Structure 1
Amino acid sequence: MVKVSSERLPDAQVVLNIEVEGEELARARDRAFQSVSARVRVPGFRPGKAPRHIVERMIGGADALHQETVERAIPDAYRKAVAEVGIVPIDQPEIDVVSVDPLVVKATVSVQPTVTLGGYRSIRLARVPVDVPFERINATIERLRDQKTEWVPVDRPARPGDRLVGAADGYLGAAPTLYDAAGQPILSTEGRQRVLSDRNISVEIDPQRTDPVPGFHEQLVGARAGSTKRFLLSFPADWHIEEQRSKSVLFEVEVREVREPHPPALNDEFARSVGDYATLEALRTDVHERLKAQLEREAVHAHENAVVADATAQATIEIPPTLIRREVDRLIANFSRSLTSQGSSLERYLTAMHQTIDSIREEMRPNAERNLRQFLTLREIGRAEGIEVDGDEIDQEIDRIVLTLGDQADSRRARRSLNRAGDREEIHSTIWQRKVVNLLVAIADGEIPSGTTESSPIDGDAEGANLAESAGSPPPA
């Protein structure tokens, strides 16, 4: 038998105080002796048959056997304590041995999060009307115009807005210490590291830009084709790349051409050149409709986010640290895969940004907590509302996905893949969460009457035993 008392801690953690009583401890001691005796070779005795006092003497005394006894007693005692208290752990416990005679241990364990919903059925959020500003339409047309702009070589000093074509070298070093008689820094590459060597640069001069170094674009103003400009620029003390702060770069820019922009006139001919438009007005109308559709999609997404955020803010949630750690792990893994797909790596990113994996984890923690809070809120609302997904809905979603592929061979492969158990479960989760969000949006829009729904903690729910894995999927909001 074991004696157990429990104490609920914040953040969905429970402390179990467990005392292993004599009879239980005696059984553990016997199992420990049998295990040790089978491993120890005692001359004159077959394995496992030597007397206890001889075995104890050979392994260093009764204390060594007692340690084995404790190690064997704790797992069984912990399992019995968990069953008696009626909790569902989601991680391995932290065990502290309080005393060995009698054997008393303290087990701290993370359990299922508890979620107590607020008055989510009383949420009312007005939708923000979509308006397409003229500035957005004009900016879109200007981008189309830029794509049709011709760049014509000119024989004059470069101006802001011109395009400069040529070659450039850059030499990084400390701030200059040598000056000429006029007090100007001596422009020498001696002692400097070449950090730029581009034989084919094309720069649109914009004095507002600060890359690659503040002041670079201003120095190009006035350059002429056939000339070479040499100038020294310094990085600010608060520059975002630490090893470049307060250092200077000597640039040598060879100018082959200065080109000025010749944008097309905004008329019907321009409209016909960018698409199937008879007039400029037809182009403007199409741009307006496309922007309106885009802004409406963004508005729907923003409305969903606001509704889910409101429901989440009303809920009282306790999340164990172990789930937050796992969600941070998931976010970092996704970030690492994204960097790899771009030809980089997490290690190179950390080096370039002067960060550590610990600092990245700390940065991602708020997002991890937000994801979990939203996921758990949606999960509990779905349970409270009895939302379900049947097999036909999953099949219809698979059909929809397959139809987007077009190619028959790809479609067959995709259908086989999507019908695997793991993929069907993921599709089930996606549909289920979508239905919960749709319900919340309908409530917020006033389509479903307000009311209260009883909710209970997730604690003790058998389905919740897999919550640690489920929590890795962020909500669709």
Structure 2
Amino acid sequence: MQVTETLNEGLKRGYDIVITAAELDEKVNAKLVEAQPEIEMKGFRKGKVPMPLLKKQFGQRLMGEAMQETIDGAMNKHFEDSGDRPALQPEIKMTNEDWKEGDDINVAMSYEALPEVPEVDMSAIAVEKLVVKADDASVDEALASLAETAQDFDAKDGEAEDKDQVVIDFLGKVDGEAFDGGAAEDYPLVLGSGSFIPGFEEQLIGTKAGDEKNVEVKFPEEYGAENLAGKDAVFEVKVKEVKGPKAAEINDELATKFGAEDLDALKGQIRERLEAEYAGASRQVMKRAMLDKLDELVSFDLPPSLVTAEADQIAHQLWHEENPEVEGHDHDKIEPTEEHTKLAERRVRLGLLLAELGQKAEVEVTEAEMTQAIMNQARQYPGQERAFFDFVRENAQMQQQLRAPIFEDKVIDHIAESAEVTEKEVSKDDLQKAVEALDDE
């Protein structure tokens, strides 16, 4: 095998690879020798068919397989010898299209190599960690909101209003056929809770006990069950009762409903939960500051293909956010702006850096962490959790989408262990402003 470099410009690489006819013939012969003991042919005992006859009978059939394996082997050996890591799948093209048996194989290979990522002195990174303590007013506010969720409902006459509870039987159909998970009896649904498909609850406002109504909705394009995603559905609904909300009293009895011993214990739990939420928000602020510091510390060439792909994705996503009425993706290509490209460069640079730091630190995402991430996503699709699990298990891209942020957060934790992190106590409002500032950047 001969390898000749044809391009070495920045991260772009090009090579001509010549695989001799002798190498290819050797590969075919090896395959025939491996298969010979199991081959039977009229006039010969099993395993005793002469090699020339085998080659005449099966050589052509094995040639394509041998060519592909030889080219793959040549490519892998090149990366092993050169130490290059391709940013994307290399482009492979056979250049002697008039090839015939007995000729050498000429292959052109091109790719963009991943850059060498420089070492980072993580001790040179200094960031603030905002700390917020939950005050009594915040606890009381959260307690009042919790009491709303524990509210009771009393039967009422008249039409159902927003915040009322309706007890319903329903049967969902797509194209006239009922589907799994689309039916229930005596289901208590609070109107305005957002627990059903968008558009479902609004259509029940104004109904009364005894009413029957066909509710027409469309499943979201990103719905977890692939057989329902983007489909129009009709739910046959029977309203059995309409109930109005009744405020729950804030006392020890309310506390026991939430598993606490008494009201003071419940307040303690709320305080802990609030401070955990504040800590999560504070972490996002610190993470952005840390990424900004990393971005200032490192500079290296970026694979153009990765930057282009990321810029296209950013432009496409932002366009859909600005045009929410367009649900499909059959629109014209959205051309990225200079601002999109600049953001893409930052994301690619930091992505490569974090991947390198994570690899060196042997950071891994555990099965338990992946399962938890899938469960968190599945909660968005009540009644279809199992279908969502199956969808993720069969979709490598979705798995990567869930794994990537977990990996990134674990690398950030690793960096924080070496960085200079200073705690600063601030108010809830100051933390809120810092979080809002993240969206403005």
Give the TM-score category using the shorter length: 0.3 to 0.5
TM-score, normalising length: structure 2: 0.48
Larger Rg: 1
